[in-house]
Chain A
Amino acid sequence: MRQKKERFITIRQTVLLIICFSIGGGILYLPNTAAKVLQSGGWLWIFGVGLLVILSGLITAFLIRMFPEDTLVELSQKLLGKPLGIAVSLMLILFFFSFVPLEVRILQELVNISILQQAPFWFVGGLFLLTLAYAASQNIKSIVYVNELLMEIALGVGLVVTVLAWQHFDPVHLLPVFGESRINPAHFREELGVAYIYTGFPVIFFLVPYLKLPQKVVKATFIGTAFLTLIYTFFTLTVLGVFGYKETLNLTYPGLELAKSVNLETVILERLDLVLIVSWISAIFTTCLVSYFFTALSISKLCGFKSHSLVAWALAPLTYYLSTLFTNYFVWKEYSAYLGFFALLVTVLLPAILLIAALIKRRSIQGNQ
């Protein structure tokens, strides 16, 4: 019989976990993708995708509220039967895991850009993965508290940089509101790639058995996804307003360039980009930590292991190898677009299928009674 889990995660911590998982390296190049899709109206595209994600998040939250004792591994097997349930669990495991190599690669680039320019991947990526494996081998309580602390610092710094950049904001850059043309089908993959940056809410598939108040999961998901939508929209709007979409298209990391544009000559910190990079490493760490932890936890659950620690350590070499496959910007950017497509499957299609299965099952139980 399964042990009853300790319920300790608050709504605030749930919201922060959703945000932690979503906000990583992707936001730094998000405005570039948005500008490709809808030019000066790119921020509207981000907002529109955000609304879709809020809706998907709510569907997911409604679904898991019906099964407050189960993670997705158990829930999917209950609803779809064992073989299909295992397949769904594997899909979600793959989904969580697929973020880690990409984020590690972005981290390596950020470190090389500004901090340790010649440090090789085995040093930066390798140490990061060792730290990650160690952190992910701990219990969920530690993960929640670490996330809470690191995310607030990263968000604080990011917000300060964004707000300060408004000294260069020019509203004419945001016109025409709907861009110069309609959504470009040639950029279909970029459009999907945008979905990937919002994909934080699937963490609730694994969180609900630990929530203090599982019935409040809908509220937490709504707050988390709505907050993300606002953050991403505000950030993209600021970048497009400061640089204009044409300059944004030229920039690999518009987020970093935004920090490089902020002038604080009279204040002690002149180089805000370095501050942003340092704090953003913690944002990347939290994204990786959450995805890595839930990957290890799901695999251990699926295989019936007592602890996920060994799985966490065992995943490190594989992650390292996969990270080395992203040899340059173009390779990992393409991968992130595919990841966006996968994210759409997991965050929109999967919850909808599971909810339909749950409703059918409930109706058949009620019919039998």
Chain B
Amino acid sequence: MRKICLSLFVVFFSWTLTGCWAGRELNQRAFVTAVAFDLAQPENESNPGAPGNGRNKEDKTETKQAVSAQEKLEISLQIPKPDQVAGEEGGGGGGGGEKAFLVLSATADSFLNGVLQIQQQLDRELFFGHVRLIMIGEDLAKEVGIERVVDFANRWFQIQRMSRLAVVQGRAEEVLSMAPPIGQSTSAYILNLISPSSGSSLIYISDLGKYNVYQADDGIDPVLPRVKKGKTSIETGGAAIIKDGKLAGWLTPYETRALDILQNEYQESNYVIASPLHPEDLIVIGLVKAGSVYRIKKEGRSFRVKIEISGSFETREFSGDYGPADLEAKDLEKRVAAKVRQEAEATIGRAQAVAADIFGIGRMIKARYPKDWQKLDWAAEFSKLPIEVTVDMRWSQTIRRLGR
């Protein structure tokens, strides 16, 4: 009897060893790699296949249902075509320059309703565990806001906090449908462009997790990287300022670079400055290190902020007929400092103009003066907050060639 029981026990447990329940084969799944959100366009709703809206009939299938006044979102999903991807990787080629991905769109009042519509025309189950990029169109970011859009991502366990968020200047779906110049997938291409591995400091690095933390915190407003459709390619650089969950304004690539310094997230970048010897000549310097320290001073009921930026640079290119040996270090340092300060002040001005504290000064005040913080109307206070910027730059790198 004991042996029979034991045998039954072993047989029962061996059945569970596969660790599967409701398992689904890879070829039964459609892996979504990127999601784009736009504000639904009335003309598209009445005429889904209208030309000039950036849609490629071959790569993109429209699912338009009767649209009510409430339905606002146009949801686009990018899904790699497994046969195309495998073909190109194997050297066989997908054939005829066909895109290695598919973009499917739907218009709905919520993300999941959109997914439901798209799912109706796919024989594979949509899987969102590999979503690495969420792009939001400018109109939607301005009118509806980011919060409404990322709600599904925050509630769905499949989606990672590390998924990148970006605001598209223009329509997100158009960018998602563009073929990348290198590689097979737009999402992977954009992802590389707006990741720290891009090596560019003209972009702002953020993800869903960082956005959520900044959005939840008092005294700081989030910033998201900007993506836009160029004439022939996808362009990055610059950033979107988010205020109360909505797009409030844009930062240029150089202002974004200054923001990186002001948030102590700076990566190396080149600056072009006028030569101290001959103002018509240019010197390209590489700012290899930069960071900032905030000094907050309480004066009566108001506050005064001093931001001390410091860093080091090296000279990389001279347009004039001379080299580093001909320059006075102090003169060069002053010019570099002036350039960095000018960009920093422009960024601060831009943020104050839209009353968005993208530097987290309010958060610092809340931490140090919690009682004063409760009495502050920070948005109004920040716009007129006196912020002084000082910059100290050091020419500190080794030099390979002294003269011309």
Contacts and interface: CB of A to CB of B under 8 A. Distances in A.
Interface of A: 40, 113-119, 123, 127, 168, 172-173, 175-176, 180, 242-244, 246-247, 250, 257, 260-261, 263, 265, 271
Contacts of B157: 113-114
A247 B213 contact: yes
Interface range on chain B (Cβ under 8 Å from partner): 20 to 34
Contact of A118 (B22, B154, B160, B212): B22
B4 to A, nearest CB: 17
B160 A260 contact: yes
Chain B CB count within 10 A is highest, among A116, A242, A246, A261, for A261
A246 B21 contact: no
B218 A246 contact: yes
A180 B363 CA distance: 13
Interface in B210-266: 210, 212-213, 216-218
A172 B162 contact: no
A257 B153 CA distance: 13
Interface in B333-356: none
Given A119-B22, A172-B360, 20 more contacts: A115-B19, A116-B19, A117-B22, A119-B21, A168-B210, A172-B363, A172-B364, A172-B367, A175-B366, A175-B367, A176-B370, A180-B370, A243-B213, A244-B216, A247-B212, A247-B217, A260-B160, A260-B161, A260-B209, A265-B197
Contacts of B370: 176, 180
Contacts of B213: 242-244, 247
B393 to A, nearest CB: 26
B230 to A, nearest CB: 27
Please name the 3 residue pairs, one residue from A and one from B, whose CB atoms are nearest each other, closest first: A175-B367, A119-B21, A246-B216
B16 interface: yes
Contacts, number: 58
A232 B366 CA distance: 26
Contacts of B154: 250
B335 to A, nearest CB: 33
A187 B60 CA distance: 52
Interface of B: 13, 16, 19-22, 154, 157, 160-162, 197, 209-210, 212-213, 216-218, 360, 363-364, 366-368, 370
A257 B269 CA distance: 33
* Residue of B162, B197, B210, B368 ringed by the most chain A CB atoms within 10 A: B162
A175 B364 CA distance: 9
Nearest to B212: A247
A113 B186 CA distance: 29
B21 A116 contact: yes
B16 A118 contact: no
A244 B160 contact: no
25 contacts: A116-B20, A117-B22, A119-B21, A127-B13, A172-B360, A173-B217, A175-B366, A176-B366, A176-B367, A243-B213, A246-B216, A246-B218, A247-B212, A247-B213, A247-B216, A247-B217, A250-B154, A250-B212, A250-B216, A257-B209, A260-B161, A260-B162, A260-B209, A261-B209, A265-B197
Which of A114, A117, A127, A263 gathers most chain B CB within 10 Å? A263
B218 A118 contact: no
A105 B366 CA distance: 39
A78 to B, nearest CB: 39
Given A246-B216, A250-B216, A260-B209, A123 B21 contact: yes
Contacts of A261: 161-162, 209
Nearest to A271: B160
Contacts of B364: 172
A261 B161 CA distance: 6
Contact of A246 (B217, B360, B367): B217
Contacts of A260: 160-162, 209
Contacts of A247: 212-213, 216-217
Given A113-B157, A175-B368, A180-B370, A118 B21 contact: yes
Which interface residue of A114, A118, A172 has the most chain B CB atoms within 10 A?
Answer: A172
Nearest to A273: B160
Nearest to B218: A246
Contacts of A113: 157
A90 B181 CA distance: 72
A138 to B, nearest CB: 15
A212 B154 CA distance: 51
Given A244-B216, A244-B217, A127 B16 contact: yes
Contacts of A117: 22
A173 B212 CA distance: 14
A114 B156 CA distance: 11
A26 B145 CA distance: 35
A244 B160 CA distance: 18
B22 to A, nearest CB: 4
Given A172-B367, A176-B367, A257 B22 contact: no
A40 B157 CA distance: 26
A265 B196 CA distance: 11
Nearest to B364: A172
A247 B197 CA distance: 27
Nearest to A112: B157
A260 B13 CA distance: 32
A117 B21 CA distance: 8
B261 to A, nearest CB: 17
Nearest to B160: A260
A175 B197 CA distance: 32
Contacts of A119: 21-22
A107 B122 CA distance: 34
Contact of A257 (B20, B161, B218, B366): B161
A242 B370 CA distance: 20
Contacts of B21: 116, 118-119, 123
Nearest to A260: B161
Contacts of B13: 127
Contacts of B360: 172
Contacts of B210: 168
A123 B12 CA distance: 12
